[in-house]
């Protein structure tokens, strides 16, 4: 399987690249990204043959169908990381909420958020490609919460890869910050930056184009890669759980093989939803994909009106911060798939220069053939958390946005899979507020309040954080980031 470019070829970059090349250098011509040249087809017999297989065997057979240039032994080692999830035989359990509604819980990995589903195996694969090529990589990450802990956890003590992770001091939850600053490994550097997430992200972008920084990396023979979801190495592990969740519905006798379902996805950078789209294109019986947003509702407007518009808007902080995004990177892969590389280049260029683009009626109709969308504000989300808890299901504020889309976006009585992207422990103050009215609680108090209310235990991974030694104490101004990272690389 080869990978090609969403914005076409500039005559200098290679016309196509292998999977491992697309992973190591995820950016392509004209600022585009890589997509698979074609998708393998999984017919009814493939699904039928996997009704009784484990998650790992399903994953292995899907990856084999992609024919990627990764050794079978490396794939096995990567997939073995799912053994450390709560239930080693089923890393992503599907929980029934009512007769029509099931939740696919994607947060049972080491950092209690869905980023682990892809980043756990991804880290193992990236490190092994780097070792085989005898190359050294630096992953730079700016995080407002979930990506940082998951990236640190996966690359911890892995050879040939170092990670420098920037977070805005005061801009993450206590749990998220503790997950980062208690990571102890020689190849990891965590840096708190004075400022908000935008400052941190801007500082990272400046670093990527800094001549002195790039010269210093070159002198040390260190290359840059990326662990965000523009990297197809993450997406490939994400389409698997959509197929798994469908098969779980069959196993639970909620549907018969071949019945269509709705997928309902809380979306930000659109990696999760893109995985669902690819699964659908590969043959999974999906009626529509519901795209749930919060008040940062650029995707709702795109899907309902064909207008992608960030001219008048800036990011609005919400109670579902992992979805506080205006530029949703993986939409580009949808544009490519539906309208081709020329049009994608045109639209993305317009977005870069004029901060908007408008699809034609015909293009919009194609998009609406696949996606439906709605957004959920914080007050509505709080009510969904409260009412759903009263019905017996505890969820986080990202997952809650899907309940609005579930209520407004379906026109057929088909079973729906909502994807739950974070455990309640990651956003406990918001949940405690929804359940008990408690305001401005610290994480530890909110965790205890919810545990009591729901009569459950705080998971050990989270509880232990509060007594773990803080090893990453760097807290600096953004002007000092370059110096700090170069010192770490020495």
Ligand X SMILES: *Cc1c(COP(=O)(O)O)cnc(C)c1O
Please select the residue that binds ligand X; options are 179, 267, 295, 428, rule is CB under 6 A: 267
Number of residues that bind ligand X (CB under 6 A): 18
Shorter beta-carbon distance to ligand X: residue 47 or 92: 92
Concatenate the DSSP letters of all residues of 234-273 into one string. HHHHHHHHHHHHHHHHHHTTSS-TT--EEEEEE-SSSHHH
User: Taking the complex as a whole, how short is the minimal distance between the CB of residue 229 and ligand X, in angstroms?
Assistant: 6
Structural contact between residues 176 and 427, judged by C-beta atoms closer than 8 angstroms: no
Concatenate the DSSP letters of all residues of 266-305 into one string. E-SSSHHHHHHHHHHHTT--EEEEEEEE-S--HHHHHHHH
Which residues fall within 8 angstroms of residue 424, CB to CB, at 6 or more apart?
Answer: 394, 395, 396, 431, 450, 454
Residues in 148-177 at the binding interface with ligand X, rule: CB under 6 A? none
179 is a contact residue toward ligand X (CB under 6 A): no
Shorter beta-carbon distance to ligand X: residue 112 or 189: 112
User: Taking the complex as a whole, how short is the minimal distance between the CB of residue 342 and ligand X, in angstroms?
Assistant: 26
Tell me which stretch binds ligand X (CB under 6 A): 202-210, 266-274, 378-386, 406-414: 266-274
**Distance, CA of 176 to CA of 458 (rounded, Å):** 15
Concatenate the DSSP letters of all residues of 166-222 into one string. EEETTSS-HHHHHHHHT---TTEEEEEESS-HHHHHHHHHHHHT-HHHHHHHHHTTE
421 is a contact residue toward ligand X (CB under 6 A): yes
Tell me which stretch binds ligand X (CB under 6 A): 78-86, 108-116, 208-216, 348-356: 108-116
428 is a contact residue toward ligand X (CB under 6 A): no
Tell me which stretch binds ligand X (CB under 6 A): 110-118, 249-257, 282-290, 380-388: 110-118
Taking CA atoms, 116 is separated from 7, 292, 389, in Å, by 29, 21, 25
Neighbouring CB atoms inside 10 A of 249's CB total: 21
Burial 81-107 (b: 16+ CB within 10 A, else e): bbeebeeeebbbbbeebeeebbbbbbb
Shorter beta-carbon distance to ligand X: residue 323 or 367: 323
User: Taking the complex as a whole, how short is the minimal distance between the CB of residue 373 and ligand X, in angstroms?
Assistant: 12
Please select the residue that binds ligand X; options are 191, 322, 372, 485, rule is CB under 6 A: 322
Residues in 34-93 at the binding interface with ligand X, rule: CB under 6 A? none
User: Taking the complex as a whole, how short is the minimal distance between the CB of residue 322 and ligand X, in angstroms?
Assistant: 3
Backbone phi, psi, residue 98, to 5°: -150, -175
Residues in 278-317 at the binding interface with ligand X, rule: CB under 6 A? none
Shorter beta-carbon distance to ligand X: residue 378 or 481: 378
**Distance, CA of 394 to CA of 139 (rounded, Å):** 35
32 is a contact residue toward ligand X (CB under 6 A): no
User: Taking the complex as a whole, how short is the minimal distance between the CB of residue 264 and ligand X, in angstroms?
Assistant: 12
Tell me which stretch binds ligand X (CB under 6 A): 109-117, 198-206, 404-412, 480-488: 109-117
Strands (E), 106-147: 136-142
User: Taking the complex as a whole, how short is the minimal distance between the CB of residue 331 and ligand X, in angstroms?
Assistant: 10
Helices 232-251 and 271-281: angle between axes, nearest 10 degrees: 60
Q: Which two tokens stand for residue 237?
A: 């592990």
323 is a contact residue toward ligand X (CB under 6 A): yes
**Distance, CA of 146 to CA of 159 (rounded, Å):** 23
113 is a contact residue toward ligand X (CB under 6 A): yes
User: Taking the complex as a whole, how short is the minimal distance between the CB of residue 422 and ligand X, in angstroms?
Assistant: 4
398 is a contact residue toward ligand X (CB under 6 A): yes
User: Taking the complex as a whole, how short is the minimal distance between the CB of residue 299 and ligand X, in angstroms?
Assistant: 9
User: Taking the complex as a whole, how short is the minimal distance between the CB of residue 382 and ligand X, in angstroms?
Assistant: 16
230 is a contact residue toward ligand X (CB under 6 A): no
**Distance, CA of 109 to CA of 80 (rounded, Å):** 12
370 is a contact residue toward ligand X (CB under 6 A): no
Backbone phi, psi, residue 152, to 5°: -65, -45
Please select the residue that binds ligand X; options are 422, 446, 449, 485, rule is CB under 6 A: 422
Provide the total of helices (H) and of strands (E) in the chain, helices listed first.
Answer: 20, 15
Please select the residue that binds ligand X; options are 60, 108, 115, 162, rule is CB under 6 A: 115
Please name the residue that has the structure tokens 């001091």: 169
Shorter beta-carbon distance to ligand X: residue 235 or 481: 235
User: Taking the complex as a whole, how short is the minimal distance between the CB of residue 186 and ligand X, in angstroms?
Assistant: 27
Shorter beta-carbon distance to ligand X: residue 29 or 229: 229
**Distance, CA of 206 to CA of 379 (rounded, Å):** 36
Please select the residue that binds ligand X; options are 155, 237, 270, 336, rule is CB under 6 A: 270
Structural contact between residues 250 and 51, judged by C-beta atoms closer than 8 angstroms: yes
Which residues fall within 8 angstroms of residue 258, CB to CB, at 6 or more apart?
Answer: 44, 285
Site map (CB under 6 A) of ligand X, residues 129-148, x = contact: -----------------x--
Tell me which stretch binds ligand X (CB under 6 A): 74-82, 263-271, 363-371, 461-469: 263-271
Please select the residue that binds ligand X; options are 268, 276, 306, 429, rule is CB under 6 A: 268
108 is a contact residue toward ligand X (CB under 6 A): no
Residues that bind ligand X (CB under 6 A): 113-115, 146, 229, 266-273, 322-323, 398, 421-422
């Amino acid at each position: 399987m080869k990978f090609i470019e969403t914005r076409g070829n500039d005559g200098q970059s290679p016309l196509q690249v292998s999977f491992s090349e697309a992973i190591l250098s995820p950016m392509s011509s004209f600022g585009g990204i890589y997509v698979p040249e074609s998708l393998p087809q999984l017919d009814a017999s493939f699904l039928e043959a996997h009704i009784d297989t484990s998650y790992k065997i399903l994953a292995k057979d899907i990856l084999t169908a992609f024919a990627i240039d990764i050794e079978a032994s490396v794939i096995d080692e990567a997939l073995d990381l799912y053994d450390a999830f709560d239930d080693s035989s089923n890393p992503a359990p599907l929980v029934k909420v009512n007769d029509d509604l099931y939740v696919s819980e994607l947060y049972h990995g080491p950092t209690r958020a869905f980023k682990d589903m892809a980043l756990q195996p991804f880290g193992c694969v990236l490190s092994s490609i780097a070792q085989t090529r005898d190359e050294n990589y630096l992953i730079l990450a700016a995080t407002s919460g979930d990506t940082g802990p998951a990236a640190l956890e996966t690359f911890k003590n892995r050879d040939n890869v170092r990670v420098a992770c920037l977070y805005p001091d005061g801009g993450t939850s206590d749990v998220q910050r503790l997950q980062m600053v208690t990571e102890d490994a020689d190849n990891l550097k965590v840096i708190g930056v004075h400022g908000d997430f935008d400052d941190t992200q801007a500082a990272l972008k400046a670093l990527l184009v800094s001549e002195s920084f790039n010269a210093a990396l070159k002198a040390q023979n260190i290359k840059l890669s990326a662990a965000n979801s523009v990297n197809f190495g993450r997406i490939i592990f994400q389409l698997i759980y959509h197929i798994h969740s469908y098969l779980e519905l069959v196993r639970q006798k909620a549907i018969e093989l071949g019945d269509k379902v709705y997928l309902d996805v809380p979306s930000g950078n659109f990696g999760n939803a893109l995985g669902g789209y690819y699964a659908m294109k590969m043959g999974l019986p999906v009626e529509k994909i519901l795209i749930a947003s919060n008040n940062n509702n650029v995707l709702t407007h795109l899907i309902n009106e064909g207008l992608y518009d960030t001219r008048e808007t800036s990011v609005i902080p919400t109670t579902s911060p992992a979805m506080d995004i205006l530029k949703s990177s993986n939409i580009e892969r949808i544009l490519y798939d539906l309208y081709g590389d020329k049009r994608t280049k045109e639209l993305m260029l317009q977005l870069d220069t004029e901060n908007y683009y408008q699809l034609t009626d015909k293009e919009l109709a194609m998009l609406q053939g696949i996606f439906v969308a709605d957004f959920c504000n914080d007050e509505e989300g709080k009510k969904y958390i409260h009412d759903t808890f009263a019905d017996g299901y505890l969820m986080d504020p990202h997952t809650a946005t899907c309940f609005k889309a579930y209520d407004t976006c379906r026109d057929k009585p088909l079973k729906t899979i909502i994807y739950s992207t974070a455990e309640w422990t990651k956003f406990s103050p918001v949940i405690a507020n929804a359940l008990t009215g408690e305001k401005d609680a610290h994480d530890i108090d909110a965790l205890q309040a919810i545990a009591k209310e729901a009569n459950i235990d705080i998971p050990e991974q989270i509880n232990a954080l509060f007594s773990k030694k803080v090893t990453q104490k760097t807290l600096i101004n953004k002007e000092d980031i370059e110096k700090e990272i170069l010192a770490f690389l020495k």
